[in-house]
Amino acid sequence: MAEHHPSDIQINSRQGTAIHPVEADGQSLQASGSVAYWEVKQFRKWIPWLIPSFVIANIVMFIITMSVNNCPKNSVSCIARFLGRFSFQSLKENPLLGPSSLTLRRMGALEVNKVVHGNQLWRLVTCIWLHAGVFHLLANMLSLLVIGIRLEQEFGFLRIGLLYVISGFGGSLLSSLFIQSNISVGASGALFGLLGGMLSELITNWTIYSNKVAALVTLLVIIVINLAVGILPHVDNFAHIGGFISGFLLGFVFLIRPQFGWVSQRYTSQTNSSFGANHKFKIYQCVLWIVSLILLIAGFTAGLVLLRRGFDANRHCSWCHYLSCVPTSKWSCNSETTYCLSQQVGNQLNLTCSSNGKFGTYILPNASNSEIQGLCSSLCS
């Protein structure tokens, strides 16, 4: 998916006049019941391990992908050949220092044709663990560490893990309804889901933040800037938008916190009623929780049904493609897939590019599909 990465936001620490739940004695809370201990633990700092595990998993998958790619064996032109089978495709074919598109397809990249006609729905999830190159991988993993670890410390591995994976799925789903001619890979949809979750968490837990307006404005500016970068060519902004919307709704469901006053009154100094609250959650929190859950279920269900039917959203929205790329005098948004007509005559391979009509002759006996693809990319660039 997109090479650009979301940025971090610094939100002020939670402050208030009520007794903070973590000031209560841990042993007495454990003794009072597991429910009480869990409610208080929501305000404690978790030790992050899942997000670092996700980073390691993405790096391992990239190494495996490069091993499968094996550029020296399958392509004529490679970069950093001293790396052996881990060397990169030529910059003309992949400017991000990574594998060929054919290898990414084999490893599980999002390819709408195979999802719809090949019943390969699993590609909606596997694509978020693949990356197009070293630069793509580094940008996303640095962003994941900066944003994800902070969120996992606040809310724990289970909720943030679900938020990450489901948001990535949502980004892939929206992308597959709009971008159907190219493959898509990357964790950007899931990363934007974390940004969306941060925004909804700020809204639903509004009363426990200090300097909340400044935090909201800062977060909105970061989100707008990152989405604006998505209008550049070769960036899947639909995955960004789908991931953000999914994460925004999931934040209302997963990241809701009880009121400080309610927790303090129930589990700490119960004699001081001035800090108390009658209800665990405010009414607006419950309303947002219900509405968001309904929208998530309805949206995912409708999206999957439309995808299975081969729905092309661009045919019903003439302007939506501008959400992902805005053409200017500096660049073009033409993303048509190029291909070449090939003819093998003995040891000679003849290629003709379909997009510009260029003709090339190569001495290459028994050329593989990867070699032909690499030569075609160079010929058509």
Burial 157-181 (b: 16+ CB within 10 A, else e): eebbbebbbbbbbbbbbbbbbbbbe
Residue 164 reports pLDDT greater than 60: yes
- Comparison of pLDDT for 32 and 140, the residue scoring more: 140
What is the Cβ-side half-sphere exposure of residue 368, based on CA atoms within 13 angstroms? 13
Catalytic-residue membership of 67: no
Among 122-131, 158-167, 219-228, 355-364, the least confident range: 355-364
- Comparison of pLDDT for 74 and 112, the residue scoring more: 112
- Comparison of pLDDT for 106 and 341, the residue scoring more: 106
- Comparison of pLDDT for 17 and 214, the residue scoring more: 214
What pLDDT was estimated at residue 180?
A: 79
Catalytic-residue membership of 77: no
User: What would the mean pLDDT of 236-260 be, rounded to a whole number?
Assistant: 91
Q: Given the structure tokens 């973590």, which residue do they identify?
A: 22
Query: pLDDT tens, 333-365?
Result: 665 556 677 777 777 788 877 666 777 788 777
Beta bridge partners of 353: 340
What pLDDT was estimated at residue 375?
A: 73
Looking at 282-354, list the stretches that DSSP marks H as alpha helix, in order from N- to C-terminal side.
283-308
What pLDDT was estimated at residue 19?
A: 30
What pLDDT was estimated at residue 162?
A: 97
Tokens of 191: 């990363």
Alpha-carbon Rg for the chain in angstroms: 25
Residue 204 reports pLDDT greater than 70: yes
Mean pLDDT of the chain: 80
CA 290, 295, 301: angle at the middle one, nearest 5?
130
Residue 377 phi, psi dihedral angles, 5° rounding: -60, -40
Q: Are 334 and 181 in contact (CB under 8 A)?
A: no
Residue 171 reports pLDDT greater than 70: yes
Query: pLDDT tens, 125-145?
Result: 999 999 999 999 998 999 899
Distance of CA 66 to the CA centre of its chain: 21
Query: pLDDT tens, 280-325?
Result: 788 889 999 999 999 999 999 999 999 999 888 888 888 887 887 7
Confidence band, pLDDT 50/70/90 cuts, at residue 12: very low
The amino acid at 373: Q
What pLDDT was estimated at residue 194?
A: 95
User: Which residues are CB-neighbours of 214 under 8 A, at least 6 positions away?
Assistant: 12
Model-level pTM? 0.78
Catalytic residue among 188, 246, 264, 370: 188
What pLDDT was estimated at residue 167?
A: 97
Catalytic residue among 136, 240, 321, 324: 240
Residue 119 reports pLDDT greater than 60: yes
